[in-house]
Structure 1
């Protein structure tokens, strides 16, 4: 019997799971405060910038026509679209605000051995609202990712529409 489930392209699936792993890793290795100046969390920086590096081709693939399920109703489709848009916005904003906050603290940022330019001049005192946004958004993205996962499970086990299989590599 042929597979009747419309799958996401393999490249999109790989980017999805790699992004999820990088987000979780960045969150797990996060450090805050001025101690970052003395002990920069290089793994956190690398994972955060990996999120940015992964999300850009992911967006291109999605815009080129990654398969989308039929959500049945217009309000539900709008809610799903808004949720995905917010996740993508955070996947871009978090690495950029982290890089900005590090620059404000005078901490050099590198990605895979490449030294990146500072996004702003160092400041004395607290790094400011961008750093505060970065910290809060780090928690928000985990909440949204958790809701995203719960909805995938609801689709798979309540609606029985094969959602998890669509996102598998098999």
Structure 2
């Protein structure tokens, strides 16, 4: 199962691994609480927003057929895989937006690659609210979900022997 019809395109592979690195980097550079106001985590903002930017070509590539056809997969594993991928995509879009929103509520200016982005909402006094809490918790959840995603890829490779890891490698 390693022919090109079963492989991801090189573009999809690069975007996949770059996204994984960006998500990990964003998590490692995260700051919590009100100290963000005094010392905004610009690297965290840049890494998180880069994830959001990469989702556009990723979705275009996926919809244009740069991913292998998985319609032959059936059963609960196929359903779980679709749900897991859907949740990952939701988090890849939602995390950067909720972070940007939370920063806006704290009155923190968000920059991306030197460009000042507009605030998504007006600043508030006190805690930034539920969206900020969701952002913080979802940041950890995406790592857990990505870890499960990786474990399933290894399981597919070693137990099912279906060539999953070869489809996502550049060689």
Runs of 5+ in structure 1 lacking a partner? none
State which drifts further: 49-58 or 93-102.
49-58
Superposition deviation, residue 162 in structure 1: 1.0
Structure 1 segment 4-153 matched on structure 2, within 5 A: 4=3, 6-65=6-65, 66-69=67-70, 72-153=73-154
After TM superposition, the score normalised by the length of structure 1 is 0.95
- Residues 71 and 77, structure 1, Cα contact 8 Å, conserved in 2: no
Match of 2:167 in 1: 166
Runs of 5+ in structure 2 lacking a partner? none
State which drifts further: 115-124 or 57-66.
57-66
Q: Please give the per-residue CA displacement for 1:61-107, whole angstroms capped at 9, x wherever unaligned.
A: 11112213466423322221111000000000000000000000000
CA distance in 2, matches of 1:169, 1:4: 13
After TM superposition, the score normalised by the length of structure 2 is 0.94
Superposition deviation, residue 4 in structure 1: 3.0
- Residues 100 and 120, structure 1, Cα contact 8 Å, conserved in 2: yes
Paired residues in the alignment total 169
Q: Please give the per-residue CA displacement for 1:17-60, whole angstroms capped at 9, x wherever unaligned.
A: 00000000000000001010000000000000001011121011
Aligned residues: CA RMSD: 1.5
CA distance in 2, matches of 1:15, 1:91: 12
- Residues 46 and 112, structure 1, Cα contact 8 Å, conserved in 2: yes
